[in-house]
Chain A
Amino acid sequence: MMYCIINDGGDTGYCIVEQLVQLNHEVILIDRKDQLPDSLLKMKSNRFSFYSFDFYQTHLIESELKNILLPTEKLNGFVYAAGIGGVRPLALTTTTFVSEMMNANLYAFLEFARLLSKKTRLETGGSIVAISSVSSIKGLKSKIAYSASKAALDAAIRGMATELAERKIRVNSIRKGWVEADLKHDFIQDNIALSTQDDHARQLLGTIGTADLAKLVCFLLSDDSKFISGTNVLLDGAYTIS
């Protein structure tokens, strides 16, 4: 099988690549960062290829994909693991800030989906997976734009799933809670500082391992999940119920 992973320098994306290669799949990584981490540099596999460009400039995606994929190459699925975070109170939630968030978390994904879901690009029975967040359904103050972008992503998936079902193509998102890979980023620290309660502690099972998230992605890409479509799978360490 051949899969494409779209990533913005996040450990989650790298981890998905590693697991898919281990499962003997062919993997194309498209990353906004032009340097690979050691774990992938060490990986000597002719089944893995790597490209970098700034796909948050959505007008570049169509032409860049023509360079990356041969005209005859067809994917069995792709994963959108890119996106940005950010916390701001309403007074500072300017239109520019909202647009940046929507651009990275929704527009770029939809443009990849539009181009990679074409009949010439995606096999019958293919699978599309996007990484969303529990913020989509749980409000936190100062996460207005981020929550809106993730909820938009989750709703977009439902529309796409109904449309692509006739080609047996499945579309799902994962609503993740706190994942190890994300805790490195500054905005999470800002977010914890801004929360009135320790939001992190509400995740009863603790921080989700990056590899655990990657395993769920691999399951949703595989035929083992062939009746799961249009859903937003919760991977939240019991955050939502607590």
Chain B
Amino acid sequence: MGKFENKYILITGASKGIGFTLAENLDNLGAKLILHASTDAGMNKLTDSFANKGHLLFKADFSDPLSLEEAWQSQINQDIKLDGFVNCVGLRSRRPLTLLKPAHVMQILHANVASFIEMCRLICRKNGFNPGLSIITISSIAAHSGGPGVTAYAASKAATEAAVRCLAKELFKKEIRVNSLVCGQVNTSAYADLMETKSDATDTILERQYLGLGSTQNITNILLFLLGGESCFITGSAIPADGGYLS
């Protein structure tokens, strides 16, 4: 029997990076998963990796939060009661202020904030969850420490952290906990893409992140703790998983 045997856990942004590693871990631990991806390529990867294991797949476009209600209701069996929700969707953005037009800012905020709140709204309805539901959203050190060009991304992550504090205070009566995990640099494909676009190959963030580049397994270990009952006294918090960056 795995630690998460028969627990229903929704992972959004599950086709790569942290979400994918978490899905692999939870699969091994016996959880029943609802795995989300935004694109066909993502869905194909999830199908290939988790075929015949009894998990559900959920395709929805997080850059269009208004479409999520219809997508959720049409694709997911409404009798399922969730025990966990980990939001790993995070649209990156790196633009100087002169190019930061409203359409771009909205795109980032829709994907990273409005869609997370909308998913919470959809799953926290009556009969949508079991008491003890743990919700975790992946945040970033960018929410706490400014960098040139990351204005929209930082704003979106800080917004989710603030929303988490309010959600925790509203939902504790339903025995739902809500936390954010403030990640430093993690060795994901998004990170590799970022490094490729840089003119020089050095990452100045790693000079301050003195434990070095994080792995998706490092982050997953903390997520497993926050999903499980051992963390039942932790809610409304933004927990750093940053290799020391913010210290």
Contacts and interface: CB of A to CB of B under 8 A. Distances in A.
Interface of A: 58-59, 89-91, 93-96, 98-99, 102, 106-107, 110-111, 113-114, 117-118, 135-145, 147-164, 230
Interface stretch (B10-18, B162-170, B192-200): B162-170
B170 to A, nearest CB: 4
Interface string B178-203: 00000000000000000000000000
Contact of A155 (B66, B115, B120, B158): B158
A117 B150 CA distance: 16
Contact of B146 (A136, A149, A150, A159): A159
Given A94-B121, A102-B109, A140 B166 contact: yes
Contact of B143 (A114, A135, A138, A155): A155
Contacts, number: 161
B170 A113 contact: no
A140 B163 CA distance: 9
B109 A106 contact: yes
B137 to A, nearest CB: 11
Contact of B113 (A89, A102, A107, A162): A102
Contacts of A136: 158, 162
Interface residues of B, number: 52
Nearest to A110: B105
A90 B113 contact: no
Interface in B30-86: 65-66, 68
B168 A159 contact: no
B166 A95 contact: no
Interface string B87-130: 00000000011101110011001100111011011001100000
B166 A142 contact: yes
Given A106-B155, A137-B162, A148-B159, A90 B167 contact: yes
Given A136-B162, A162-B147, A155 B97 contact: no
Contact of A163 (B114, B117, B149, B170): B149
A111 B101 contact: yes
Contacts of A156: 151-152, 154-155
Interface of A is mostly: helix
Given A117-B98, A155-B143, 20 more contacts: A90-B117, A91-B121, A95-B65, A98-B65, A98-B117, A102-B113, A106-B109, A113-B97, A136-B158, A139-B169, A150-B162, A151-B161, A152-B155, A155-B146, A155-B155, A156-B151, A159-B142, A159-B151, A160-B97, A162-B146
A102 B102 CA distance: 11
Interface in B188-231: none
Contacts of B106: 99, 102, 107
B19 interface: no
Contacts of B159: 102, 106, 148-149, 151-152, 155
A90 B162 contact: no
Closest 9 CB pairs of A and B: A158-B146, A139-B165, A151-B162, A159-B151, A155-B158, A152-B159, A152-B155, A148-B159, A141-B170
A138 B101 CA distance: 29
A98 B114 contact: yes
A84 B137 CA distance: 26
Nearest to B148: A163
Nearest to A117: B97
A144 B100 contact: no
27 contacts: A89-B170, A90-B120, A90-B170, A91-B121, A91-B124, A93-B117, A96-B66, A98-B118, A102-B106, A110-B151, A138-B165, A139-B164, A139-B168, A139-B236, A140-B169, A142-B166, A148-B113, A148-B117, A148-B159, A148-B160, A151-B163, A155-B159, A156-B154, A159-B149, A159-B154, A160-B151, A163-B149
Find the residue from B66, B147, B156 having the highest chain A CB count within 10 A: B156
